[in-house]
Amino acid sequence: MLVTLENAAGRGVDLVPGRVGPQVSKTIGELDWDGQVRWRFGDQAPGGLAQQHHDWARLPNGHTLVLANLRHAVAGFRQPEVLDDVAYEVDGAGAITWRWVASEHLEELGFTPAQLALVRNSDNADYLHINDLKPLGPTTGSRPATPASRRTT
């Protein structure tokens, strides 16, 4: 079971309107049935804060995919700092082995130029709030890979 092991006081854009309380997750972990911590993440996250929210998934390789927030400046945004969404792949030792940051992929999300301008000029630092993530499996380019045994051409 994944749980928040430790909270920290939020600051700046961590405290966007609508958030419940001024706390952010500092450390998250997996507990066994006896309440013993078997895995933890947070110390090696940016700023030492996991900032995990809404979702996580254990991957076939034993790593953990974590949906989190990342507070940082993004060129071209009205806000000096945004509360970005990020997916981290975290190994058994709590180290980030891969990351996907939403603001680096906005052009791929299907926004029209007008919609993209609205996103970049938002008054809300939490400009794009993702609530769910799921691993899709191996990919080739931007399309899911098809095993050679199932290809028709």
CA gap 3, 133 in Å, rounded: 17
**Domain assignment of residue 139, yes or no:** no
Judge whether 23 and 8 are in contact, CB under 8 Å.
Answer: yes
* Distance spanning both ends of the chain, measured CA to CA: 43
Range of the domain at 32: 2-128
pLDDT above 70: percentage of residues in the chain: 80
Residues composing the chain: 153
- 10-66 per-position pLDDT tens digit: 665 455 544 555 678 888 899 999 989 999 999 999 988 888 888 888 898 999 999
At 17 the pLDDT is 46
- 66-99 per-position pLDDT tens digit: 999 998 999 999 999 898 999 999 999 999 999 9
Q: What is the CA radius of gyration of the chain?
A: 17
**Domain assignment of residue 124, yes or no:** yes
- The sheet with strand 96-101 has its strands ordered as 52-58, 64-72, 82-90, 96-101
**Domain assignment of residue 48, yes or no:** yes
**Domain assignment of residue 97, yes or no:** yes
